[in-house]
A and B are shown apart, each in its own frame.
Chain A
């Protein structure tokens, strides 16, 4: 069956069951997605705008925001670079173990984020493999920013690579080969040919990677230690405040995360609309 056959004719009237189905979907969406979102902003503002602004301007909240920006500011560019490198290897070259690499890239998607955090504790924690050595040399990884960055990198690793691999495989290596025969160096070919060809898909991947990096809870929670103002990122800050029965504070912080989600959604939709042909998401079966 072709797409054209499944598409309703313009002006065709919906049958009663179809109308019921549409209404049912709208109702489910309203209950599961819209209502929680409204609740977040409603509860955040329940004690008035002043309290809301106080909550997000408090020193702990500002520290959490700074930390979140720092952690994603480090891990997203790194993952963008790793993702481009991995996708480049996989799409442009033939080598042994390619499928293994593909599977490894996907691993964080199929693994619980808690595990992604726990592995770092097992490696670098006080009782971990390198624990004693790290303590001897006074290097703090767990319960410190480094640990948060490592956990975030691990969890968000697949976003950029996964977005780029199908696109780059589809584009092949002929354009780069042509650039080389025309006298370009490998680096020039990468900057002038490869990168421009994947720019929108890269931006798309970075966007999703960033949304996840800023919103990550599980992995970060394991390595953080929840030291207020020091190792609590925004999602952890929400949890801490909520456990303290500071609902306005918790929801105010949550509203920031929700806003981030909405902005991400907006940009993502814009990209999909404007550059659909250059995004790998549209090439998957």
Chain B
């Protein structure tokens, strides 16, 4: 699916920094979970940490919550040294991957927990807690389910209870660990927009961990892509999608076609196709990446990679075209109306990548 269409315009964010992570490292036994990670988030920003499992994104989130202590590095929030604060004093609302609802408490008791465990002097009156719970229940659209137990709720409902419980303490920062991980695709998409609305209304800095690139690009103000404990790239959804820092990020953000090429004298040569290399492109043998839907198809006489169509398969409005280029199979994607008539197996044509990205061979 073309991610472009899902993405909304990059949102303007206030410029005041709220979260500053610098040089955070963490090792579990011999396994380095975080390697010198530094990043900053602005006030009220919605930040997504994107990466495959084991990339360290959840560990980073737990460091922010105070559930893990980093071996080195610094975390500041609103200028305050966050690492010196114990978990309970950080006032971060955390939504766990499997929600971690208190199974022996009702939905209302779950949401009230953060308020009812406060010191007597800081605790709101019982009636006030009740009112807050009702407000939060209606915020998460579960007005009538306050007396239910978590086991009597669907996955999507549990997720919303977990969010309401985290919001009840009026958190300074919201941390979400794969909040949609355990839900089916339909519910995910519904909750996604809703979560963004809740964030905008609550007005708190939010860090959101996911392995779903579509979710991250769709939802976040900025996306940080992690791999093997390192932050590979951080930028707005547009920035990272248009200019992936390395082949890994390119691959991770969407489907990719890959061809070997050579850059010399400002020109890029891939097989029999020659074009202008972008400024600052590496010299010598390179790997050329392009998105399967960012290509122009031309007749055999035109410019581009000489290809032979092997198969054409329609998938709803999109068409998948399997081509043979230089003995290598490429899977292209085209939208029905833009597909030149007559594209069928056996046809010879030329493929011209519209926005090739050039990376040095790793």
Contacts and interface: CB of A to CB of B under 8 A. Distances in A.
Interface residues of A, number: 16
B94 interface: yes
Interface string A181-203: 11111001000110011000000
A184 B94 contact: no
Interface on chain A toward B: helix, strand, loop, or mixed SS?
helix
Nearest to B28: A94
Contact of A174 (B90, B98, B114): B98
B67 A180 contact: yes
Nearest to A176: B100
A182 B95 CA distance: 11
Given A193-B102, A196-B104, A197-B103, A180 B117 contact: no
A183 B166 CA distance: 11
Contact of B88 (A174, A175, A185, A193): A185
B67 A181 contact: yes
Nearest to B93: A181
A197 B104 CA distance: 7
Nearest to A174: B100
A274 to B, nearest CB: 15
Contacts of A192: 102, 113, 117
B169 interface: yes
Nearest to B87: A180
Given A180-B67, A184-B113, A175 B87 contact: no
A196 B149 CA distance: 14
Nearest to B103: A197
Instruction: Kindly state the interface size class of chain B when it binds its partner.
Output: 20 to 34
Interface string A65-90: 00000000000000000000000000
Contact of B169 (A174, A182, A197): A182
Contacts of A175: 100-103
Contacts of A193: 102
A175 B98 CA distance: 10
B92 interface: yes
Nearest to A277: B151
B96 A183 contact: no
A26 interface: no
A196 B102 CA distance: 10
A181 B65 contact: yes
A180 B65 CA distance: 9
A196 B118 CA distance: 19
Interface string B63-99: 0011100000000000000000001111111101010
Interface string A155-186: 00000000000000000001101111111110
A178 B118 contact: no
Contact of B114 (A182, A185, A196, A197): A182
A183 B67 contact: no
Given A184-B88, A192-B117, A178 B96 contact: yes
A188 B117 CA distance: 8
Contacts of B93: 181
A183 B100 contact: no
Given A175-B102, A196-B104, A182 B117 contact: yes
B96 A184 contact: no
B271 to A, nearest CB: 52
Contacts of B114: 182-183
Interface in A48-103: none
A174 B92 CA distance: 15
B290 to A, nearest CB: 42
B57 interface: no
A178 B111 CA distance: 12
Which of A174, A177, A183 has the most chain B CB atoms inside 10 A of its CB?
Answer: A183
Contacts of A188: 117
Contact of B113 (A174, A177, A179): A179
B104 A183 contact: no
A183 B102 contact: no
A171 to B, nearest CB: 8
A175 B113 CA distance: 12
Contact of A181 (B87, B98, B118): B87
Nearest to A186: B88
Task: Please indicate which of the listed interface residues B87, B90, B98, B168 has the most CB atoms of chain A within 10 Å of its own CB.
Answer: B87
Nearest to B113: A182
B165 interface: yes
B332 to A, nearest CB: 44
Contacts of B67: 177, 180-181
B95 to A, nearest CB: 9
A181 B103 contact: no
A177 to B, nearest CB: 5
Contacts of A184: 88, 113, 117
A275 to B, nearest CB: 12
A178 B169 contact: no
A-B complex: 8 closest residue pairs judged by Cβ atoms? A182-B114, A174-B100, A178-B100, A180-B87, A184-B117, A181-B94, A196-B104, A183-B88
Given A177-B67, A179-B117, A181-B92, 4 more contacts: A174-B98, A181-B87, A183-B91, A184-B113
Interface of B: 65-67, 87-94, 96, 98, 100-104, 113-114, 117-118, 165-166, 168-169
11 contacts: A175-B101, A180-B88, A181-B65, A181-B66, A182-B88, A182-B114, A182-B117, A185-B117, A188-B117, A192-B113, A196-B104
Interface of A: 174-175, 177-185, 188, 192-193, 196-197
